[in-house]
Amino acid sequence: MKRFLAFVVLNFALFGLHTTSVQTEEFSQEQLSPKGKMAYSKLAVACIFRVGGVGYSGETSKEELALYDLLEEAQALAALKSLVKSGSYEGGLYGLLGLSIKDHGEFNRAVEIYKARKERPEWQETGSFECFRATSETVTTQSGCIIYTQPREKVVTAIQSGHFDRFLYAK
């Protein structure tokens, strides 16, 4: 009986340590390289979601290039999940897109987290004419030269269906 009691106490202690380590596992930008920090910062305040050639010359957007930089980081999964939870709505879409590339299981969990977000993050002034505030149910996107306001749900569905995969560089 004493052995059984000791076994139970030991298991509770180990379980307590495990849950404490899981609960305190928070992402910090300090875990990223300088290049990764810049990429994360750019995506966290993104005001437009654009993948593929954009603008008159069909350039790759700065945000898409930042996503590629972030995907190269050792802590990419944690950074992408953080974008989904706390980045701008458009930044959260980049987080989802990155997770769809890196880890499909994490992507599926993150979709539900992103959809559950209701409070739009505080607006960041960028000084760019293309950044304007959409509603809490919409995001700003760009395809080619055209800037749209679309329902968040529609863009998430497009990411889930692989719509943007053909535009992404093979990484």
| CA terminus-to-terminus distance, the chain | 57
Per-residue pLDDT of the chain (171 residues; tens, 9 = 90+): 555 444 444 444 444 444 333 333 578 888 899 999 999 999 999 999 999 889 888 899 999 999 999 999 999 999 999 999 999 999 999 999 999 999 989 999 999 999 998 876 655 555 555 566 667 789 999 999 999 899 999 999 999 998 888 777 644
Q: Report whether 50 contacts 61 (CB < 8 A).
A: yes
| Helix residue spans in 49-169 (DSSP H) | 62-71, 76-86, 89-102, 104-116, 152-160
Q: What is the pLDDT of residue 23?
A: 36
The span from the CA of 77 to the CA of 102, in Å, is 7
User: Can you give the pTM of this predicted structure?
Assistant: 0.79
Domain ranges of the chain: 27-167
Residue among 21, 131, 166, 91 at smallest CA distance from 13: 21
Largest separation between any pair of C-alpha atoms in the chain: 77
